[in-house]
Amino acid sequence: MACVSPDGKPTESGAKMLRALKSGLATPEEIAKDAGLPLFRVRSGVRELVEAGLAALEGGSYSITDTGSELVQ
């Protein structure tokens, strides 16, 4: 996993995406710009974050979950 470590914690790039989500950004395009990551990495990364329960996807918009929120400052 590129965004979530085997121990369930976000990697550096995963944490960047979570922080962007926590700030209210909701689309991969917005997150990529904010986190300074390539768009393809963010599309793949948010998918991982959702699978790990750290982010949620609803109606095409991403948001951070309570679990995800606890893992980033």
Our CA angle for 68, 3, 11, nearest 5°, is 80
From CA 73, how far away is CA 1, in angstroms rounded? Answer: 21
Residues contacting other proteins: total by CB under 8 A = 12
CB burial readout 44-54, b (16+ within 10 A) else e: ebbebbbebeb
1 binds other proteins (CB under 8 A): yes
Of residues 44-73, those binding other proteins (CB under 8 A): 44-45, 47-48
What character string, x for contact with other proteins (CB under 8 A) and - otherwise, covers 3-42? x----------------------------------xxxx-
Give residues in contact with other proteins (CB under 8 A). 1-3, 38-41, 43-45, 47-48
